[in-house]
Chain A
Amino acid sequence: MTRPSGLVRVLAIAAGLVSVVSSAAEGKWFDRSHAIFLPAAMSEKLGATQSFPLFWWNFLVLDDAVENGVPRPEVVGPVCDRLQSAPDSPLAKVACGANLDAFLPPLRDWARDYPLRHPFPGRGELRRKFSETFAQATLPLGRELLGVFREDPLGSYVELKSILESQVKMDLPNQAGIFVDAETKRVVIPVQFKSPPNETAATARFYSLASGTLIGPHASTYANERQVQADVEKVSLIGFLLTGLQILFLLFSKRARALWLFPPVLLSTGIAGAVTVGIFGSIHGLTLAFGTGLIGLAIDYGLHSAFNVSYRGVWKANLCGILTTVAGFGVMLWSGVPLLRQLMVFAIVGLVVTYFLFYYLHVRHGSFFAIAPFAYEPRVTRARTIAIGVVLAAAIPAALLLRPNLDMAQFDFQSSHDAAVRNWVYPHLGVKASLLDLDGATTLDEAVRHAHERQAWADANRVGFQSVARFVPTADEAATNLATWTKAFCAPGARGLAADLSADERTFFGPALVRFECESLRKLGDRDPTAQARAFPAYLRDFRSVTAGKDEVGAPGFISVWLPRDDAETALVKSRYPEALSLREVVEIFPRTLSDELRWMSPLSVLLATLLLFLYYRTPGRTLLALVPFFCAVGVYSIGVLAFGLHFSFISLIALLMIFGFSIDYGVFAVDVTLHPEGRSVNGVWTCLLFASVATGLGFVPLLVCRHPVLAHLGQTLTLGTIGTAIGTLWGIPGIARLGRRLGKTSAGGAA
């Protein structure tokens, strides 16, 4: 055996490139953002739950926590204590008791902006309010409240607390922030996280502090991530065992050289990754996950050659295979979904590079890769041919009848207990479905103006509405209010507020007094957008995107939420503000967009592939024959859906795309060897197809044990699709070819 020196270099380059791609995965070239799912205009809506702290609220439900209509202190008390007191608590707010900690951060800004919300009450009234607050501060109310009094001498925190508490509504009795249901003996504690749902380390920390059932975006994201991790661990273990068995089989059957087919694929994957980063600036995690599988399919070209090293015609069939695959994938380069475009660039580059690498290596060093085929040739039987007929017949109604289920809720993994609790909580919220209303305003003034316009309409139509308008008056109103203060404290010869207070009051309220000085009041009226951005009020944090003005140019800065109580109110809001979308509508934009595109791209891909096959074979019969494995894949999967109620989702569509990638290759190889066996190793081609089918199938089978819906749908579609492709290739093409020959003879005989 001669060892090609180039192979060592190939391996070294492959390792290097894989290493570069891996390190890029940790750096800025690795993309995990949601922006890739949709065109920019729609993508920003999808990111709302991550960007706006308003969506970082969840509900902690404690079972068996109510006795005689009141929360059991031994159950609720310790949970509240831990959530509120833990030094590294992941929560910004916990609605447990009248704890003021949650209101302290925004209070300073709220108190600062008092003159914007209220007109100057007169010196006497102002002095009286200061004195009353000073008297309250003499009570034994603890250090926290003392801090509140010092910051907020006019007692405006009561107003802020009232607005903040009104944001979380349920139709259950509220006892100090906690919602109590005497019937089920459950309590519901609203909690707001400091970070977005995708930062699951914070949710893990939450679970270390509190038991119970968490319902909301953080809980859902965490549960899904955990299930995916658990599934991936299972898949990895089973995959490892199956791969081990395949390697052992190759070793014991003296066909270990097949393992040398993997380094070129790794090298191509690295090159495809580098090209993708070069074009798009980064590569998304999903591109790497799905795209690597697509590039891996190119190993079939190597296998085809390895079992037929002496037959150069292999590379003509391989060329036809890759051209049909590239044509099919190439159509999707025109997709409006950035992820699909990136995925296709990655896959096409990887496939083409692999093809040329294999071609170079096999032409130059064919003997090194040569693998002895088994004495295998599929047997044609009547039963198998009938089975193929049934499968192909199933594909026709499937193409006409089956429509993918686009409901994204089906991909939300939940335990049965969590689902039951969620179904109990949400009806108590008293809202049909919140409608998100994103505002591209770049300044607070602009956002406030928009919000007040909507608030006026909401009030007139008695529809619930949450926005910055609850907190901030209109610009005109604010200017009018502020003018009364500046008139009192900025007029020539005007005395400062300190002159009206006692020495003790001046000492106690020192920090707050500065805010009533002329210079501070004038600053408050500064409408310069830059200055506003610096002093953005903390009490409006929930309504402003955390990414606004940072890394996503043009991303909506603000959000408002409509709270319709029924379908009629929803329709009313949408008739006036059609851009308002429910969260469900937002998350379903992606599968709908994808599905709409695949509706015209899939037929076009098949058409282009068919055209190429026709150019290759020059007869319609052979062209259709090469498509039999793909139609069988669709047929077997359709039988699974129709007969066994399997899922057909947009994930299934992506899986069928992968099936399309290799089923036509198999078809070409099988048609060639069936119709033109001369000059090639018949056993070699069929062994290649058997190997490829089994290896591909074994790669997908572990996904069947997954519980997460996305992986389960992938597993079902890919496994059934591979089985369909295999029987279409190994039984269908030889059987139909023989049938065709018999029919041809009969017809010729009859004519004679």
Chain B
Amino acid sequence: MAADPTPVSETALAEKLRFYASIKTLETDFHQVKDLRDLGMQMKSEGRLTLRRPDAVIWEVRKPARVKVELDSKGIRITSGEGKSATVQTFSSSEMSAQMQKDKATSSLHDLVAWLKLDAHALSEQYAITTTGTDARGQSRFVFTPKKPGPFASMEMELAKAGHLAKLVLNEASGDRMTLEFARPKVVKGSAP
């Protein structure tokens, strides 16, 4: 039986996320299942996630087909396919501020990228955070509920015993749900610029 959720302080969260405090880049493979509530179907995919501090993210889907999403302060670039047949879409221009880029099409990605910085201070300011403690495998489970309405109703995070992100569940406001399971990451330490 799961323990009752208890609020998590910024200090406690920072302690749990210390694995990420000093990394410069992180690469990890993931398996994803997207549940589409209205269609009653699951979309399965797998790929690789790369984080480059402070704010660059590459989200690369390898199966069922190759799609690469590159996000940074300059905007979002989605590349489908490879080689000559590759098509590129840019959703926002470079100089726009984060708030301006909160259009409906890309707001989920923006929120996710902001979340993936795993900055305890920023997360504590934007989310109400609770935990159900640590399970028998040593994994800690946290639930993040946005303080302001956004594309996600809540996010569930499981940290592995070693401290890295093991599982992430994104409950979209629309009722769709994404579950991502991450392999042990390859990390390059160093302070972010």
Contacts of A131 in B (CB 8 A): 64-65
Secondary structure type dominating chain A contacts: helix
Q: Is A155 an interface residue (CB 8 A)?
A: yes
Check B95 against A99 for contact (C-beta < 8 Å). no
Docked complex: A63-106 residues within 8 A CB-CB of B: 69-71, 73-74, 76-77, 80, 96-101
Contacts of B61 in A (CB 8 A): 135-136, 138-139
Q: Which of A20-28, A409-417, A470-478, A500-508 is the contact stretch?
A: A500-508
Docked complex: B70-107 residues within 8 A CB-CB of A: 78, 80-81, 85, 87, 89, 91-107
Check B97 against A139 for contact (C-beta < 8 Å). no
Check A134 against B64 for contact (C-beta < 8 Å). yes
Check A174 against B93 for contact (C-beta < 8 Å). yes
Q: How far is the CB of A102 from chain B (nearest CB, A)?
A: 11
Contact of B43 among A77, A134, A175 (CB under 8 A): A134
Contacts of B85 in A (CB 8 A): 125, 128
Check B108 against A176 for contact (C-beta < 8 Å). no
Contact of B97 among A71, A132, A143, A508 (CB under 8 A): A71
- Please measure, in the bound complex, the distance between the C-alpha atom of A502 and the C-alpha atom of B42, giving whole angstroms: 13
Check A139 against B69 for contact (C-beta < 8 Å). yes
Contacts of A134 in B (CB 8 A): 43, 64-65
- Please measure, in the bound complex, the distance between the C-alpha atom of A69 and the C-alpha atom of B107, giving whole angstroms: 23
Docked complex: A301-353 residues within 8 A CB-CB of B: none
Check A98 against B103 for contact (C-beta < 8 Å). yes
Check A77 against B42 for contact (C-beta < 8 Å). no
Check B80 against A142 for contact (C-beta < 8 Å). no
Per CB-CB distance, the 4 closest pairs between chain A and chain B, nearest first, are A73-B99, A97-B103, A131-B65, A135-B65
Check B105 against A139 for contact (C-beta < 8 Å). no
Q: How far is the CB of B145 from chain A (nearest CB, A)?
A: 17
Contacts of A148 in B (CB 8 A): 105
Q: Is B66 an interface residue (CB 8 A)?
A: yes
Interface string of A107-134 (1 = CB under 8 A from B): 0000000000000000001001001111
Check A132 against B66 for contact (C-beta < 8 Å). yes
Check A139 against B67 for contact (C-beta < 8 Å). yes
Docked complex: A26-77 residues within 8 A CB-CB of B: 69-71, 73-74, 76-77
Task: Name, among B43, B112, B172, B176, the residue most crowded by chain A CB atoms within 10 Å (CB to CB).
Answer: B43
- Please measure, in the bound complex, the distance between the C-alpha atom of A629 and the C-alpha atom of B88, giving whole angstroms: 78
Q: How many residues of B contact A (CB 8 A)?
A: 49
Contact of A128 among B41, B59, B81 (CB under 8 A): B81
Check A176 against B92 for contact (C-beta < 8 Å). yes
Check A175 against B95 for contact (C-beta < 8 Å). yes
Q: How far is the CB of A602 from chain B (nearest CB, A)?
A: 59
Contacts of A507 in B (CB 8 A): 39, 41
Docked complex: B25-61 residues within 8 A CB-CB of A: 32, 34, 36, 39, 41-45, 59, 61
Q: How far is the CB of A254 from chain B (nearest CB, A)?
A: 75
Contact of B108 among A69, A100, A142 (CB under 8 A): A142
Task: Name, among A133, A138, A140, A144, the residue most crowded by chain B CB atoms within 10 Å (CB to CB).
Answer: A140
Q: Is A460 an interface residue (CB 8 A)?
A: no
Contacts of A144 in B (CB 8 A): 104-105
Interface string of A139-158 (1 = CB under 8 A from B): 11111111010000001001
- Please measure, in the bound complex, the distance between the C-alpha atom of A732 and the C-alpha atom of B65, giving whole angstroms: 96
Contacts of A175 in B (CB 8 A): 93-96, 100
Docked complex: A564-587 residues within 8 A CB-CB of B: none
Q: How far is the CB of A72 from chain B (nearest CB, A)?
A: 8
Check B65 against A70 for contact (C-beta < 8 Å). no
Of all chain B residues, which has the CB nearest A74?
B99
- Please measure, in the bound complex, the distance between the C-alpha atom of A137 and the C-alpha atom of B35, giving whole angstroms: 11
Contact of B151 among A73, A139, A142 (CB under 8 A): A142
**12 A-B pairs, CB-CB below 8 angstroms?**
A97-B96, A97-B100, A98-B91, A128-B85, A132-B81, A132-B87, A134-B64, A140-B178, A146-B36, A155-B80, A176-B96, A176-B100
Q: A137-B43, A138-B61 are in contact. Are A176 and B97 (CB under 8 A)?
A: no
Contacts of A69 in B (CB 8 A): 95
Docked complex: A326-385 residues within 8 A CB-CB of B: none
